Amino acid sequence: MPDTDDPAICPGCGQPLPPQVRADAVYCSDRCRMRHRRSGVRLTEPRGPTLCSNCLKPIRSYGRVHRAYCSAGCRQAAYRARKQAAN
Ligand SMILES: [Zn+2]
Ligand SMILES: [Zn+2]
State pLDDT tens for residues 27-81. 898 888 888 766 655 554 455 678 898 999 988 766 666 778 889 999 999 999 9
Q: Indicate the domain borders of the chain.
A: 1-43, 46-87
Half-sphere exposure of 83 (CA within 13 A, CB side): 6
Q: Is the pLDDT of residue 85 over 90?
A: no
Query: What confidence tier does 11 reach under pLDDT thresholds 50, 70, 90?
Result: confident
| Dist. CA 54 → ligand 1 center (Å) | 29
Q: Is the pLDDT of residue 19 over 70?
A: yes
Question: Regarding predicted confidence, which is higher, 64 or 17?
Answer: 17
Distance CA 87, CA 82 (A): 9
Q: Which pLDDT score is estimated for 75? A: 93
| Dist. CA 31 → ligand 1 center (Å) | 7
Closest CA to 44 of 25, 24, 58, 28: 58
Distance CA 49, CA 45 (A): 8
